[in-house]
């Protein structure tokens, strides 16, 4: 259980606020036995907004950001135990994206996991497509969604190692529910 206390004051009010913060911190009492009933990683979400404003969604603040290519095209957020990951992909396909082209490219991105089986495909917010899937050989399962705008495909994937659904299901539900996709 991780407890976080954030104390904010205007810079001009630091001297006045100091004694108040000290008294508050000294009085702070944690009760982790009750905190264990909280859904994992749902207390501290922050909103990630795509730099091109293609979408925004909430992500657990405790998860580690990685932009491997340093170009914002593939971004990952990984849970502290590395059993769950959120992947945000933005791909320029070089020509106007059609539904068929989007489907094909999204499946290619999904198939980086071995022997993926898609159990459900549905249309969700603003025409984006959501796939629920699992990879038994890879020991992972998750949900991916994708949409396109002009020549750009964006693909978001929430995945966790099999057996961690109880831990990460609520996180992904929260993140998916927060997904905002402008028209």
Partner 1 sequence: MVEYKHPSNSFSISVPADWTSSENSGYVFLSSPDQNVFVELLAENTVNALDADAFTKTINAIEFNVFSWNKNYTETKREVQADKGYAIITKTLDINTAPFQASTIYEQI
The alpha carbon dihedral of 98, 101, 107, 108 has a sign of negative
Of 76-84, 101-109, 122-130, 139-147, which segment contacts partner 1 by CB under 8 A? 76-84
Residue 143 in contact with residue 160, Cβ under 8 Å?
Answer: no
- Residue 46 touching partner 1 (CB under 8 A): yes
- Nearest distance in Å: CB 29, partner 1: 5
Residues in the chain: 183
- Residue 27 touching partner 1 (CB under 8 A): yes
Decide: helix, strand or coil at residue 147: strand
| H-helix or E-strand spanning residue 122 | strand 116-123
- Nearest distance in Å: CB 18, partner 1: 10
Chosen residue from 52, 64, 112, 162 binding partner 1 by CB under 8 A:
64
Residues between 77 and 136 that touch partner 1 (CB under 8 A): 79-81, 83
Token match 């925004």: residue?
Answer: 56
Of the candidates 145, 55, 147, the one whose C-alpha atom is nearest the C-alpha of residue 102 is: 147
Residue 130 CA, chain-centre distance (Å), reads 15
Residues between 144 and 183 that touch partner 1 (CB under 8 A): 167
Binding site for partner 1 (CB under 8 A): 1-14, 17, 20-21, 23-25, 27-32, 34-44, 46, 59, 61-65, 79-81, 83, 167
């Amino acid at each position: 259980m991780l407890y976080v206390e954030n104390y904010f004051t205007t810079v001009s009010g630091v001297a006045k606020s100091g004694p108040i913060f000290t008294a508050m911190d000294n009085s702070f009492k944690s009760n982790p036995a009750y905190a264990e009933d909280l859904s994992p990683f749902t207390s501290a979400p922050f909103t990630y907004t795509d730099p091109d404003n293609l979408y925004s969604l909430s992500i657990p603040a405790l998860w580690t950001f990685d932009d491997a290519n340093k170009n914002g095209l593939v971004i990952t957020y990984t849970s502290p135990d590395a059993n769950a990951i959120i992947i945000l992909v933005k791909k320029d396909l070089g020509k106007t994206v059609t539904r068929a082209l989007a489907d094909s490219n999204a499946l290619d991105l999904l198939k980086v996991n071995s022997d993926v089986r898609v159990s459900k495909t549905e249309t969700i917010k603003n025409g984006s497509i959501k796939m629920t899937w699992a990879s038994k050989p890879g020991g992972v399962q998750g949900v991916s969604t994708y949409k396109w705008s002009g020549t750009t495909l964006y693909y978001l994937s929430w995945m966790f190692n099999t057996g961690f659904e109880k831990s990460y299901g609520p996180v992904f539900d929260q993140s998916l529910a927060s997904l905002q996709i402008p028209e």
